[in-house]
Structure 1
């Protein structure tokens, strides 16, 4: 997953402000850091996204973000 995709998913699922806040402040216990710290440290954004979805109980049907026809 590209970093731009990660940020788009965060915005799609949580909204732009809350998604940004979560990325900067939420500690992911299984991975040992905030999403921003982990990605900056080399963890694949898709792994970080999966852990965020688990922590926030994001339903399976929302984990791929908003359907954008033609993209």
Structure 2
């Protein structure tokens, strides 16, 4: 998962709360950091996304494959 995919996934799942969640919510699974701080420290965005999903009880069905754009038609 790229950072841009992480950003889209968070925005799609949490809407207006996404900015506050990324910058304010501390996640123990990524070293007691906010998602933004964890990514800045080098934690892969996918690991941060999964920790965020676990913390906020996002259903498993909405955790995988989110944030990706559809492939371009050739």
**TM-score of the superposed pair, with normalisation by structure 2:** 0.82
Q: How many residues align?
A: 68
Task: Give the superposed CA RMSD.
Answer: 1.8
Is the 8 Å Cα contact of residues 53 and 63 (structure 2) preserved in structure 1? yes
Greater mean alpha carbon deviation, residues 44-53 or residues 56-65? 56-65
* Stretches of structure 1 lacking an aligned partner (at least 5 in a row): none
Match of 1:25 in 2: 24
**TM-score of the superposed pair, with normalisation by structure 1:** 0.85
Change (3 A) 1:4 1:67: closer
* Stretches of structure 2 lacking an aligned partner (at least 5 in a row): none
Kindly name which structure, 1 or 2, has the bigger radius of gyration based on alpha carbons: 2
Matched, 1:10 2:10: yes
